[in-house]
């Protein structure tokens, strides 16, 4: 009888910080890293949601920690990162926290525009800078920012989100260019439509919504998904884990698009 396949332990006892970890893609990434042996520091602004998610996880003594943090607050970010790193040096960072407020650009409220950038761009900057400063002294580390294929192609009623994800992706690649000499790799993963609470909020319980995503909508300039399916959070988590891992040891400044071919043009 063949031995059961085991999950590779690519992060055995290596500490990784994951933002936006209470649900969706962030939660899937945290689970994937745990399964691969990492010490996971799960960060989210929503303390209630984070506590509920932590309760659903299998016991992982000494390997799973929750931290309530608003990544838009630079001083709080620096303090939290310093505390985490002091408990065990951070090998990896996944920037996954994100918000989306759909609206046409002419109807986007100034506060919604600013909040989108506060989380998706400024938060990514604050956390990446704080973590990278600790990594530099050790000459090792990997950072992955979860952006979006919407940062690569224009979308109707998603202008603020598209612009913020494009900014976060370019920031990460520029950071990688600066940190390469310190042995730190920085990459981007850009998901397409993925079965998450964020996507569900956009679909508004429309029974035909999944078909619309897959088939495309010429009126909204969407081409559809060639693989004929919406991604699962685990699809994205596996890509993130690869780019964080030693298997991607000579990959940096890259943007891995995981969208079933939706933005092939």
* Sequence spans of domains, the chain: 15-195+232-257
The whole-angstrom separation of Cα 185 and Cα 38 is 18
Q: Which of 31, 161, 239, 241 is catalytic?
A: 161
The whole-angstrom separation of Cα 27 and Cα 174 is 27
Counting residues of the chain whose pLDDT is more than 90, the rounded percentage is 84
Q: Is 161 a catalytic residue?
A: yes
pLDDT of residue 185 exceeding 80: yes
- pLDDT of 3-44, one tens digit each? 456 788 999 999 999 999 999 999 999 999 999 999 999 999
The CA-based dihedral angle spanning residues 33, 118, 46, 63, taken in that order and rounded to the nearest 10 degrees: 20
Nearest to 35 by CA among 18, 60, 52, 55: 60
pLDDT of residue 2 exceeding 70: no
CB 32 within 8 A of CB 9: no
Weakest-pLDDT range from 21-30, 79-88, 94-103, 209-218: 209-218
Nearest to 198 by CA among 85, 135, 116: 116
Confidence (pLDDT) at 59: 86
* Structure tokens that stand for 59 in this block: 């016991």
- List the beta bridge partners of residue 16: 40, 92
Across 103-129, average pLDDT: 98
Radius of gyration over every alpha carbon of the chain, rounded to an integer in angstroms: 18
Question: Could you say which DSSP state residue 138 is in?
Answer: T
Count of other CB atoms within 10 angstroms of residue 32: 25
pLDDT of residue 220 exceeding 90: no
Mean pLDDT of the chain: 94
Confidence (pLDDT) at 1: 40
Count of other CB atoms within 10 angstroms of residue 101: 15
Tell me which CATH homologous superfamily contains domain 15-195+232-257.
NAD(P)-binding Rossmann-like Domain (3.40.50.720)
- pLDDT of 58-76, one tens digit each? 888 899 999 999 999 999 9
């Amino acid at each position: 009888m063949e031995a059961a396949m085991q999950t590779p332990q690519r992060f055995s006892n290596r500490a990784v910080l994951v933002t936006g970890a209470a649900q969706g893609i962030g939660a899937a990434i945290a689970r994937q890293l745990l399964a691969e042996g990492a010490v996971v520091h799960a960060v989210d602004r929503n303390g209630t949601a984070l506590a509920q998610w932590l309760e659903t996880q299998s016991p992982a003594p000494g390997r799973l920690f929750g931290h309530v943090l608003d990544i838009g607050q630079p001083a709080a970010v620096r303090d939290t990162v310093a505390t985490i790193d002091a408990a065990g040096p951070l090998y990896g960072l996944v920037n996954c926290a994100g918000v989306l407020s759909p609206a046409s650009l002419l109807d986007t409220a100034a506060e919604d525009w600013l909040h989108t950038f506060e989380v998706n761009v400024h938060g990514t900057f604050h956390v990446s800078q704080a973590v990278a400063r600790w990594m530099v002294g050790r000459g090792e580390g990997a950072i992955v920012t979860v952006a979006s294929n919407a940062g690569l192609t224009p979308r109707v009623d998603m202008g603020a989100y598209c612009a913020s994800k494009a900014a976060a992706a370019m920031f990460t690649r520029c950071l990688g260019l600066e940190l390469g000499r310190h042995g730190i790799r920085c990459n981007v993963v850009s998901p397409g439509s993925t079965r998450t609470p964020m996507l569900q909020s956009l679909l508004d319980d429309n029974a035909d919504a999944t078909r619309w995503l897959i088939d495309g909508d010429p009126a909204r300039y969407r081409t559809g998904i060639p693989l004929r399916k919406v991604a699962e959070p685990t699809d994205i988590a596996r890509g993130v884990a690869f780019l964080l891992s030693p298997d991607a040891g000579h990959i940096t400044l890259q943007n891995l698009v995981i969208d079933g071919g939706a933005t092939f043009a």
